[in-house]
Amino acid sequence: MPLNENPVWFITGCSTGFGRELARLVLERGWRAVVTARDAGRVQDLANGYEDRVLALSLDVTRQDEIAAAVQQTERRFGAIDVLVNNAGYGYQTSIEEGDDAEIRAQFETNVFGLAAMTRAVLPGMRARRRGHIVNISSQAGFIGYEGSGYYAATKHAVEGLSDSLSREVAPLGIKVTCVEPGPFRTDWAGRSLHQRHPQIDDYRETVGARLEATAGYSGKQPGDPVRAAAAIIKAVEAESPPKHLVLGSIALEGIRNKLKETLTEIEAWAETSRGADYPENER
């Protein structure tokens, strides 16, 4: 592994889904892990049999004091954080017009501001050691704005932009950044981590309403395997030249490819108009 032979992984949101499966694989490989959830009792079982290599902590990423305490406890126990996986987050689906302000802000607090706060907390140690890897769990929605997922997509677009900028800032310091874009995976995300507000406005029932119903009904039938996804994340971190963007699942791969092709086609179609917005050569 490029980081060191016995890395310390700090993973947020380990009570279910990607975070839990990733923690299991990390521990099975003999590495050390800090596993977190808002209630540490929900992740304590991950330490069974690995007590000397696991630190299970309560962590709400919207609380700066809890972030600072968790990082300090980790450094006291293991000496460093080699890999930070910003996995904590949830979905909120509704039409843009019917979005609830408190729900929107709460989602940004976790998905964006909590992720950024965790990143800021670990960067001083990574900079001092001139090594480290930050893995930000985004979504295919970080590229594609689906109907009914506008506010969730906005948080994931923010994660994409932050990750791209961070990668440029820390690459000269020996720190890697990977943004992970999963499609539908067979976790309990729809059951536990998805808040839906079904449209009350008739004009949105056939677009937003239909997508919300399809999302909820898809739970347990998604093609993505969270264990294989966790293995793919580890493979990326172990790579000599890790990807800045890791798309997971065939649905996400096809959807993101199509989105990028459509975007490039549209940009090229309007290229003359784009260039025409500059001052003429003789006036520069």
Active site residues: 138, 152, 156
Whether 88 contacts 189, CB under 8 Å: no
